[in-house]
């Protein structure tokens, strides 16, 4: 039988029985933990969900401890094309460790990617939470909606950075009736000075609590006269079990102004 292929189209030589998994991405960690928690033997320092996750920590998404991962003898390492460095993934493969790479830039891609990773990569049945997430997002489509709310989504300050083109978070917002002002920018995460953000004339400024932790006291003061929506970054940028409740939570935050 041919090896299953990950989102990049690369064949991944997973064993018939996957029993030990290391995840290099917080969203993927939560996805596996919610489906078959006993599989996980390693995760990054940033993998904060579930809160009681008890596995070996292997540093961060951009600087994983390759030697420590290899020592864990994983049957499979889970990664993401955006979150992780190709040099680290190449080193793992060279050490004989199978690596499954996800590519997720839309809600639909998230569903397909997670389904493939869990069933073909990890050998698990389709989890109930994934089916629930697909149902939760089914009514949320930009088709047939009126004019969307124009928004800018800062993700960092000092320097200011915003969501640009082709991002999962941008698609999440579009499905909820919020159009990213910088969706056609050449960069996916462009640096835009504060006066440039104001000049774009957004109806709404969406401030997530990650990667930069915007709060009621840190961020809104920079956008006087603008509508502000403080949202949970996990609802906006994580693909996994949080997607079940994310559309309702985000809608309350975005439109309860």
* Total count of domains within the chain: 2
| The pLDDT value given to residue 144 | 47
Q: Are residues 157 and 221 in the same domain?
A: yes
Task: Indicate the pTM of the whole model.
Answer: 0.93
Exposure on the CB side of residue 100, measured as CA atoms within 13 A: 31
pLDDT tens-digit map of 137-154: 998 765 545 678 999 999
Q: Are residues 85 and 167 in the same domain?
A: no
Contact yes or no for 129/34 (Cβ under 8 A): yes
Has residue 134 been placed in a domain?
no
Q: Would you state the structure tokens that stand for residue 17, as one six-digit string?
A: 């029985």
Identify the domain containing residue 236 by its residue range. 149-255
Q: What is the DSSP annotation of 224-256? A: TTSEEEEE-HHHHH--SGGGGTHHHHHHHHHH-
Q: Are residues 30 and 112 in the same domain?
A: yes
Q: Would you state the structure tokens that stand for residue 196, as one six-digit string?
A: 């440039």
Residue with tokens 């809600």: 107
pLDDT tens-digit map of 47-98: 999 999 999 999 999 999 999 999 999 999 999 999 999 999 999 999 999 9
Has residue 203 been placed in a domain?
yes
Q: Would you state the structure tokens that stand for residue 57, as one six-digit string?
A: 């920590």
Q: Are residues 109 and 62 in the same domain?
A: yes
According to DSSP, the residues that pair with 204 across neighbouring strands are: 151, 227
Rounded to 5°, the CA angle 1-110-241 comes to: 105
Q: Are residues 163 and 229 in the same domain?
A: yes
| The pLDDT value given to residue 100 | 98
Q: Are residues 25 and 111 in the same domain?
A: yes
Has residue 1 been placed in a domain?
no
Q: Are residues 164 and 245 in the same domain?
A: yes
Q: Which of 70, 95, 126 is the last residue of a domain?
A: 126
| The pLDDT value given to residue 81 | 96
Residue with tokens 């993934």: 89
Cα 107 to Cα 110: distance, rounded to the nearest angstrom: 5
Has residue 79 been placed in a domain?
yes
Cis preceding linkage at 50, omega within 30: yes
Q: Are residues 45 and 106 in the same domain?
A: yes
Q: Would you state the structure tokens that stand for residue 224, as one six-digit string?
A: 């006087």
| The pLDDT value given to residue 145 | 54
Q: Are residues 110 and 169 in the same domain?
A: no
| The pLDDT value given to residue 220 | 97
Low-confidence residues of the chain: pLDDT under 70: 1, 141-146, 257
Q: Would you state the structure tokens that stand for residue 157, as one six-digit string?
A: 């300050």
Contact yes or no for 7/81 (Cβ under 8 A): yes
Has residue 14 been placed in a domain?
no
Q: Are residues 108 and 155 in the same domain?
A: no
Q: What is the CATH number of the domain that holds 182?
A: 3.40.50.1980
Has residue 5 been placed in a domain?
no
């Amino acid at each position: 039988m041919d090896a299953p292929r990950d989102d990049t189209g690369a064949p991944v030589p997973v064993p018939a029985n996957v029993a030990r998994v290391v995840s290099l991405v917080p969203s993927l960690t939560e996805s596996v933990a919610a489906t078959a928690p006993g599989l996980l033997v390693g995760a990054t320092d940033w993998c904060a969900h579930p809160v009681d996750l008890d596995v070996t920590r292997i540093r961060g998404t951009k600087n994983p401890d390759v030697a420590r991962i290899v020592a864990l003898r994983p049957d499979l390492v889970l990664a993401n094309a955006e979150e992780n460095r190709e040099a680290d993934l190449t080193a793992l493969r060279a050490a004989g460790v199978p690596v499954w790479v996800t590519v997720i830039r839309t809600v639909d891609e998230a569903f397909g990617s997670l389904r493939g990773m869990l069933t073909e990569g990890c050998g698990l049945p389709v989890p109930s939470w994934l089916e629930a997430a697909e149902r939760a997002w089914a009514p949320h489509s930009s088709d047939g909606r009126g004019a969307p709310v124009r928004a800018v989504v800062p993700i960092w300050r000092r320097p200011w950075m915003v969501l640009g083109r082709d991002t999962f978070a941008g698609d999440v917002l579009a499905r909820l009736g919020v159009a990213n002002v910088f969706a056609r920018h050449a960069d996916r995460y462009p640096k835009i000075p504060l006066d440039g953000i104001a000049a774009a004339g957004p109806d709404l400024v969406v401030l997530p609590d990650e990667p930069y932790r915007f709060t009621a006291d840190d961020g809104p003061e920079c956008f006087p006269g603008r509508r502000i929506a403080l949202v949970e970054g996990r609802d906006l940028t994580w693909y996994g079990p949080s997607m079940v409740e994310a559309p309702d939570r985000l809608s309350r935050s975005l439109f309860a102004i």
